[in-house]
Structure 1
Amino acid sequence: MSFQDLGVSKWLVEALNAMKINQPTSIQSACIPKILKGHDCIGGAKTGSGKTIAFAAPMLTKWSEDPSGIYGVVLTPTRELALQIAEQFAALGASMNIRVSVIVGGEDIVKQALELQKRPHFVIATPGRLADHILNSGEDTIGGLRRVKYLILDEADRLLSNSFGSDLERCFKILPPSDKRQTLLFTATVTDAVRALKDKPTAAGKPDVFIHEVETVDKVAIPSTLAIQYIFIPSYVKEAYLNSILTLPSYENATAIVFVNKTHTAEVLRRTLRKLELRVASLHSEMPQTERTNSLHRFRAGAARILIATDVASRGLDIPSVELVINYDIPADADDFIHRVGRTARAGRKGTSISVVTEKDVERILSIEERINKKMDLLDEVDDNKVIKESLQATSAAKREALMDMDRENFGEKRKNNKRKNGKTVSSNNEPEKKKKK
């Protein structure tokens, strides 16, 4: 079956062919015809399965038949994912002079307001920044949002969590009501919150909500080409062991993402590894947007071999060359582990995941193994003697220097000041923390 058979416009089929995308994937084959027929849609498929084209192709097809005003709004949880989606829209619609506006934090809000006033065809946004415009930028800026034909929630499971609740609500209030627009939700994890939307009553004359999960996502969560390993170590020597892993003969030239749970950890590791002369970049919420974009470009281009990242990089980002994923910190949620390791072993390629496990992480590892229905293998290429002999002293000295540099530069002061000013607790991954239950 071809894209033309699915009902995609001829000009768009030609654009897809030019990008060497000839055959629709399972999620695309299932969702595109239904969206073209007017159904709201919930699409669940693993990362790398072509979800962006599954919603972009039908939306662009309909847009080209009647290109009026702001046609569609795509909401996504991270700035990097918004930029990536915008790049895909721009590439697909290049022959039609498509105008795409990216509305994310960290960029000039006045410049964004002027862009919105010019009524771009598609707006790709993070909920927080779009909500800022709705609150502060005036009717000239946001008026075009009142008539959009499509609303897309990408990584819908994250967007529907408590973290984005108030911003989403503000965005929904200005968009047309659900019976006057099509709503498309796409995610790698179809949660109960997402699935529940299928059962909401639809407006009279509107088709039922269509839901499609590729092989029930859980069954394909971990690629068969992914080797899953762990190393068990004391927590106070993690940096030295990380250095040893990254400089093993089998990984010394491998592109790697190192996932951490906190921005402070990401910055310490970036500076420490750089002092050890490793080519490293980082991606976390305390970096200015220009630096975040630059880090991704450097990593994609191979100028940096290692990317230190919080979970802003665990979902959706298409970095096809990653060979190694290291969970330096173990995530609390097993699904976050699945999203992280999904950065490697994509599209049939081989990849390796290594989890750095300390005495505090055992329960989390057991939970992850139960979730993925697989036991991790022990990494035996790094042992205590090797670390003590080759890595411990140099890494400890580099870490001391990194911490002194951060102290001199008052790293984290801006976040602390914002916390005090806003009177709310913020996590290290750029999202409000959920209040602990008493």
Structure 2
Amino acid sequence: MKLPGFKELGVSEALTALLKGNGIVQATPVQAEAIPPLVQGLDVIARAKTGTGKTLAFLLPILDKIRPDRPVPQALIMAPTRELALQITEEARKLTRQSDIKILAVYGGQDVEKQLRKLEGGRHLIIGTPGRLLDHMRRGTLALGGVNMLVLDEADQMLHMGFLDEVESVITAIPSRRQTMLFSATMPEPIKQLAASYMKQPLDIVIKSGSPIPLDNIRQQVIECTDRTKEEALKALIERDRPYLAIIFCRTKRRVSKLSDALREAGYDCDELHGDLSQNKREAVMKTFREAKLQLLVATDVAARGLDVEGVTHVFNYDMPLDVDSYIHRIGRTGRAGGKGLAITFASPRDRAGLEMIERGISQRLERRRFEKGEFGEAKFATGTGGGARAGEAREA
């Protein structure tokens, strides 16, 4: 079934044209289901996993309804982590470059005084984490009396992280005559109770998907090697494919730093992303990567949660993911918005059990190649221990 375009769903011509300019012309299932009732002003509960396009599903109706001539917060989006808050903010800023809508991200690890000055300047859309939002409310620096649209994004994660009390405190400060949108991968009982308490006859939308990421857009491959030859194999693949943008996942911060140093020393445009970096440094690295001024980003799983960058052509699992969810999350950084991607996982003999676990989890046997040295020391990738279904072709870089 062909999914509709955004204009058919009720999105304004201005936003539809902006999306088209970014190569986004067709809605995803969650967008097709959620946008029309949200445009009408209904409360909506949408159960959809990460990577299904839910951010645009709530941003587009909100941005079309905000009145720039009213210099007060009119919409509030709550997210469980600063990374997700930043990701939503990036998306919103892309869509408001040609408008007078002012946006502010409010999260921990940021300069509070800087946030205060921006709030005083009049912001229409606030995107933030529950703790920092509550902090501003208690200081008397954030008034939510003009908010008429509220989004709770990844509500189940907010529950798991123990933020439900803070979330309720923020909700009760917003006028009850509002439109409320709740997005969540799962619906545990406390989230159901939250919806029952604070939403008005919400429309319940469930997007059924075997995996949060459309894996058919991603060619998946395993490179059999040893721990000792892994770095050499990675460099050979980078030379072979010349990725436009690539994310390389390592298991620990120490591994990230060590590999990042080695790649920089070899002359690659490379930087690292992990939990020990300051918030300013993390934002600077992400900005450089998003603007494609950086070819390779070496990251840990935690740092890359919620990482959504257009144009990532390759994902390299330098270290084997710990579980199937981590594998799907990692490789889902490529092949987004209908593009094609290549995901390569390095596996040493001791990774066999982990590899089998991933293959069982995605119900697919992965294509294998074996890293070897040729007669003159050149890198070769021979057929590995078993074949595998190819899912799409890697996009030309």
- Please indicate the TM-score interval, normalised by the length of the shorter structure: 0.7 to 0.9
Aligned residues of 1:198 and 1:210 also touching (Cα < 8 A): no
Decide whether aligned partners of structure 1 residues 170 and 278 sit closer, same or farther in structure 2, where only a CA change above 3 A counts: same
Q: Paired residue for 1:184?
A: 181
Matches within 5 A, 1:290-305: 290-305=280-295
Report how far residue 103 of structure 1 moved: 1.6
SS of corresponding position for 2:241: coil
Deviations 1:59-96 (A, max 9, x none): 22333399573222223345454334223323433454
Q: Paired residue for 1:395?
A: none
Decide whether aligned partners of structure 1 residues 353 and 86 sit closer, same or farther in structure 2, where only a CA change above 3 A counts: same
Q: Which runs of 4 or more aligned residues in structure 1 lie more than 6 Å from their structure 2 counterparts after TM superposition?
A: none
Which of 49, 52, 56 pairs up with 2:59? Answer: 56
Are 2:232 and 1:243 equivalent residues in the alignment?
A: yes
Are 2:32 and 1:29 equivalent residues in the alignment?
A: yes
Q: Paired residue for 2:202?
A: 208
SS of corresponding position for 2:282: helix
Q: Paired residue for 1:152?
A: 151
Are 2:42 and 1:38 equivalent residues in the alignment?
A: yes
Equivalent AA in structure 1 for residue 274 of structure 2: H
Aligned residues of 1:222 and 1:372 also touching (Cα < 8 A): no
Aligned residues of 1:148 and 1:175 also touching (Cα < 8 A): no
Q: Which region of structure 1 is more displaced relative to structure 2, 175-184 or 68-77? A: 175-184
Matches within 5 A, 1:35-434: 35=38, 36-44=40-48, 47=51, 49-64=52-67, 67=70, 69-134=72-137, 138-139=139-140, 141-142=141-142, 144-145=143-144, 148-161=147-160, 164-166=161-163, 168-176=164-172, 180=176, 181-186=178-183, 190-193=185-188, 197-198=191-192, 202=196, 206-213=200-207, 216-218=208-210, 221-235=213-227, 237=228, 240-248=229-237, 249-253=239-243, 255-312=245-302, 314-358=304-348, 361-380=351-370, 382-383=371-372
SS of corresponding position for 2:201: coil
Aligned residues of 2:249 and 2:316 also touching (Cα < 8 A): yes
Decide whether aligned partners of structure 1 residues 356 and 5 sit closer, same or farther in structure 2, where only a CA change above 3 A counts: closer
SS of corresponding position for 1:338: helix
Task: Report the Cα distance in structure 2 between the residues aligned to 1:130 and 1:283, rounded to whole angstroms.
Answer: 26
Identity of aligned residues (%): 32
SS of corresponding position for 1:353: strand
Task: Report the Cα distance in structure 1 between the residues aligned to 2:299 and 2:119, rounded to whole angstroms.
Answer: 31
SS of corresponding position for 1:274: helix
After superposition, the CA RMSD in angstroms is 3.5
Between Structure 1 and Structure 2, how many residues are aligned?
372
Decide whether aligned partners of structure 1 residues 204 and 300 sit closer, same or farther in structure 2, where only a CA change above 3 A counts: closer
TM-score under structure 1 normalisation?
Answer: 0.72
Task: Report the Cα distance in structure 2 between the residues aligned to 1:242 and 1:156, rounded to whole angstroms.
Answer: 39
Report how far residue 225 of structure 1 moved: 3.6
SS of corresponding position for 1:379: strand
Decide whether aligned partners of structure 1 residues 308 and 59 sit closer, same or farther in structure 2, where only a CA change above 3 A counts: same
Q: Paired residue for 2:391?
A: none
Aligned residues of 1:198 and 1:211 also touching (Cα < 8 A): no
Aligned residues of 1:39 and 1:208 also touching (Cα < 8 A): yes
Q: Which has the higher helix share?
A: 1
Task: Report the Cα distance in structure 1 between the residues aligned to 2:30 and 2:293, rounded to whole angstroms.
Answer: 34
Q: Which region of structure 1 is more displaced relative to structure 2, 352-361 or 331-340? A: 352-361
Decide whether aligned partners of structure 1 residues 199 and 379 sit closer, same or farther in structure 2, where only a CA change above 3 A counts: farther
Task: Report the Cα distance in structure 1 between the residues aligned to 2:67 and 2:13, rounded to whole angstroms.
Answer: 11
Task: Report the Cα distance in structure 2 between the residues aligned to 1:186 and 1:201, rounded to whole angstroms.
Answer: 11
Q: Paired residue for 2:384?
A: none
Q: Which region of structure 1 is more displaced relative to structure 2, 279-288 or 67-76? A: 67-76
Deviations 1:362-416 (A, max 9, x none): 4433332222111222222x13x57xx689xxxxxxxxxxxxxxxxxxxxxxxxx
SS of corresponding position for 1:6: coil
TM-score under structure 2 normalisation?
Answer: 0.79
Aligned residues of 1:34 and 1:210 also touching (Cα < 8 A): no
Report how far residue 31 of structure 1 moved: 0.2
Equivalent AA in structure 1 for residue 369 of structure 2: L
Aligned residues of 2:145 and 2:173 also touching (Cα < 8 A): no
Gapped runs of 5+ residues in structure 2?
380-397
Task: Report the Cα distance in structure 1 between the residues aligned to 2:179 and 2:345, rounded to whole angstroms.
Answer: 41
